[in-house]
Amino acid sequence: MSRAEIDVPIKKVSIDGQVILQIIRHCQSERDSTDLAQGVLLGMLVDNCTEVTYCFPFPEFTEADTDNDIEMYQLDMMKYLRSINMDHMQVGWYRASPFDLNVIKDMLDSQYTYQKQIHESVGLLFDPIKAAQGNLSMKAYRLSSKVMEMYGQGSTEFTVNSILAAGLSYENIFEEIPVEIRNSSLCNVYLAQLKLNHSSAPTSYLTLGTDSHLEKSLRLLSESLDELHQEAGKLSVYHKTLRMHHQKQQSLLKKRGDNAKARDDDDSKQNRPPPAPYRLDNLLVANQTNKFCQELNQYVSQSFSKLFLAEALENNES
């Protein structure tokens, strides 16, 4: 816990408009491929705000690429950026996540690596589908310090008891950090004189046809519920084996009586209780499911508002 007190909490993430456009561009070019676009965020820290001022994309790595290639690419890129006076501190990563797809396991891994190296790192998720409909959606996440501590101690640490002891629940794995967008004055000059043609602007977020989106979200939800169910199954199997193990030991003890107590130590070595199940997946799936529900709720609330808007219009007309 002492670590958490030393840590400066990150209160917000501020992103340059340029970075957002670059992420959009990257997602756009990667739209037809199966891989999700991802890349590195660069920037600096000011008090408890992470400022993202530049980013560069990762190419699609093929099987033939070694870790070395990836590192070389990053190094080359950083070297270039330093030569043109860009901020060259890595402050996180970004990733396209249409429909908040199941990226959560990867997210944990990469966020852990980043956050371990640079404490203030953030993970940025961008939803290209919402953006294409006219609503720019960016979310920044960080791992809570509890997860950082436990994950660092090795993956075997995530057992029922240790999770309980740390007070970890599916709700506090990730912290969402508010995002704000900032542009330099010069960029603002340009933006102000930009005449956007509003008629070509995407307005599909005002359409009422919501079925396909709902369907997709519900399907994702039910998939993640399936996974959750599997995890619950694993836990109950564990409890069963544990109970059987206890029974067996009890009966053994009774049979032998007191005189065999000396050999107990030996026996207990052979008769180890079954290994505690790995519970991290369960936490993550629960977190994902919860996120789906939140998304769904948000979606429903905005759909309702649109519906009532349409109703008011229709009633006025007649």
275 contributes a contact to other proteins by CB under 8 A: no
Total residues contacting other proteins by CB under 8 A comes to: 99
Measured over the CA atoms of residue 30, residue 31, residue 35 and residue 39, the dihedral's sign is positive
Site for other proteins in 33-92 (CB under 8 A): 53-54, 57-60, 73, 76-77, 80, 83-86
Select the span of 104-112, 144-152, 175-183, 261-269 touching other proteins (CB under 8 A). Answer: 175-183
Strand partners, 141: 123, 176
Q: Of residues 131-160, which lie at the interface with other proteins (CB under 8 A)? A: 131-138, 160
Q: Residue 21 CB, nearest distance to other proteins (Å)?
A: 4
DSSP string, 218-250: HHHHHHHHHHHHHHHHHHHHHHHHHHHHHHHHH
Closest distance between other proteins and the C-beta of residue 53, in Å? 8
Q: Which residue has the tokens 């994950």?
A: 151
We find the least distance from the C-beta atom of residue 272 to other proteins, in angstroms, to be 20
Given 7, 8, 9, 25, the residue binding other proteins (CB under 8 A): 25
At 1 the three-state DSSP class reads coil
**Binding to other proteins by residue 205, rule CB under 8 A?**
yes
243 counts as binding other proteins under rule CB under 8 A = no
Segment lying near other proteins (by CB under 8 A), choices 1-9, 111-119, 218-226, 268-276: 218-226
Residue 204 CB burial class (10 angstroms; 0-12, 13-18, ≥19): exposed
**Do residues 109 and 147 lie in contact, with contact meaning Cβ atoms separated by under 8 Å?**
no
Residue among 6, 192, 257, 265 that touches other proteins (CB under 8 A): 192
Q: Which residues pair with 229 in a beta bridge?
A: none
Shortest separation between residue 263's beta carbon and other proteins, angstroms: 32
Find, among 59, 56, 175, the residue nearest to 121 by Cα.
175
**Nearest residue (CB) to other proteins, 10 versus 286:** 286
Closer residue to other proteins, CB minimum distance, 49 or 253: 49
Looking at beta carbons only, is 225 or 244 nearer to other proteins?
225
Residue with tokens 């396209």: 96
Spatial distance between the Cα atoms of 273 and 238, rounded to a whole number of angstroms: 10
Q: What φ, ψ does residue 189 adopt, rounded to 5°?
A: -55, -45
